[in-house]
Structures are given as structure tokens and as C-alpha cells.
A and B are shown apart, each in its own frame.
Chain A
Amino acid sequence: MKSIMKRSEIQLLTSLIGKKFLHLVSANLTPDLVGDSVYVVTEFDSIKIGSRVVVLNFEGIDEEYTVLTVSSLESGVLSGNRNSQDRFYKFSNEEIIQGYVFRETITEYENDVENWTYESDVAVVFQLKSGFISVSKDTHNNGVLQVEYLYDLETLTNVPNLYSDNLFVTHTISRSKVSFSDSLEELN
């Protein structure tokens, strides 16, 4: 089962590379930067990174899974007197140098026999001069996003594994970092 972002979404992310980052906007983040969506605002273009929950059945039961979404902003959505506490200025005025999609592949084995494989995009990361801004899934299932400011990509928080209540079931997890440009090429 694959749950990765569409080409049009990667193109939107790519459009921010080379732009001057201004701030993040979200009226819906906790003080720990947990919420459902965030706007990435640059000097020219801005995008919304959000999540939706889809129901999949590859584990043998209907279960909810978080899917990352990227969309362009509806006009006027950021205009008006937004509360200043909705804006997050860390790394402001720095150029977005590069961007990455973090992709995770989980394979489940039961008594050493493969049951299924689930591949999904778990984080979008923007590289700026001083550090990184990451928007990632809080978990695979809750439809919630986590924003992180990082100075080292090695410290990016991993998404917790899927649930299992069976002692004979094991999961292997592999994670890869794919630049936006490589991701676009893969989707060609």
C-alpha cells in the first residue's frame, strides 16, 4: 500500500525553493506546535500543509491513516488582522535553500512471513540557512501534524510505529530522505 503525495503537491513545495521565508501561520497549533495545518509564507508564494484521514484496509481491518496534503492558498486567507500569536517567525527572512520529503516504509511480518508493506510520506522539511523547518505526521493514524524547528536533521522526531497487539508480529521500518526535485523525477 502506498500513500505518497501527488506530483502537483510536490510541485507546490518545489515552488518555494529559492524564496525568502517569512513565517509560518496557524491559528490551530498548541504551544508544542501540534495541530492540523500550517501555512508556509514566503515573500511571494505561500502554501498550506495539512492532513486528512483516509480509511485503508491493508492491515486486515478498516483503519484510519494520516495523509499529508499540500495546497495553494485561497486568496485572502492570510489577509486581515490575524492574531500575532498565530505567526511563527523563527528562521524568518532566510532563503529556502532545499526541501525534502521523508518517506517511511513499514513491513509487517508474522512468524517471519511478510503480511504487508505500507509506504508513506511522513514529513516535509524545508532547509534554510540556519536550520530546518519540519512538518510531519504526529502519528500514522491520528490526522495530526507536528511542526519542528531543527538545527540537525538527525534530530527529526520519528513517527511512532503502527499499533500491534500480537507478540508474533514484528515490523521493520526504513526511512529515506528524498529531495523535492528527486521526488518529482520519481513521479514522472
Chain B
Amino acid sequence: MVSDTPLTSAIEFFNKLRISSEGLVTIPGGWTASFGKQITVTFRPKSTSDGSPAIDIKNQGQSPDNYKIHFVTPESRKNR
């Protein structure tokens, strides 16, 4: 996801995604929120791979789908 302010966008996105989660815990380098056993949303302000903020969404519910979203600036997107 491209944003002029990647970290702010990632925090905003995570805060919306974690609404009504059953729990939020810190993990090394971030936080994870769970919605039952089958769905977790994990946010790292600084991913290990490229340093950009990243959100992992695990959805093993009725329509399973998993995503990893990196939040990057337009400049860093061009350099990828």
C-alpha cells in the first residue's frame, strides 16, 4: 500500500482492523490481535525484511484468505 505517511497509515489501518478483537498482545517488534483462533491481525511498525510497516492478516474462517500488506512511500515503491 502506497502512502506519503506509511507508518501513520499502517497504524490507522491496524486500529480499524482490530476493533472488536478479543485480545491484543505485544510480540517482538509489534502487536497481534486475535478474533477467535482462526483470525489474527499482526502489525509491525518496522518489518525485518525491508523496514517498512507491515500488517499480516490471517483469515482461516469460512472464506480463508491471508494477506501481508507493506506500507511504502511512493518513492520506495518506484525503487522496488
Q: Is chain A's binding surface mostly helix, strand, loop or mixed?
A: loop
> Are B27 and A160 in touch, CB under 8 angstroms?
no
The number of residues on chain A lying at the interface, defined by a beta carbon within 8 Å of a beta carbon of chain B, is 29
Residue B2 interfacial (CB < 8 Å): no
Max chain B Cβ within 10 angstroms of own Cβ: one of A34, A148, A160:
A34
B60's nearest neighbour on chain A, judged by CB, is A160
In this complex, the interface size class of chain B, counting residues with CB under 8 Å from chain A, is 20 to 34
Q: A139-B56, A160-B58 are in contact. Are A35 and B36 (CB under 8 A)?
A: no
> Are B58 and A139 in touch, CB under 8 angstroms?
yes
Q: A34-B32, A160-B58, A160-B64 are in contact. Are A64 and B23 (CB under 8 A)?
A: no
B26's nearest neighbour on chain A, judged by CB, is A28
Which residues on A sit within 8 Å (CB–CB) of B66? 139, 160-161, 163
Across chains A and B, the number of contacting residue pairs, with CB separation under 8 Å, is 90
Residue B49 interfacial (CB < 8 Å): yes
Bound form: Cα–Cα A63–B25 in Å: 23
Which residues on A sit within 8 Å (CB–CB) of B40? 34, 138-139, 142, 144
Bound form: Cα–Cα A54–B21 in Å: 27
Considering the complex of A and B, which 4 residue pairs feature the smallest CB-CB distances, nearest first?
A30-B23, A36-B27, A142-B56, A32-B34
Binding site for A on B (CB under 8 A): 21-30, 32-38, 40, 42, 44, 47-50, 54, 56, 58, 60, 64, 66-68
Known: A35-B25, A142-B40. 14 other contacts (CB 8 A): A30-B21, A30-B22, A31-B34, A36-B26, A55-B48, A61-B49, A64-B47, A138-B42, A138-B58, A139-B66, A141-B68, A142-B32, A143-B44, A144-B32
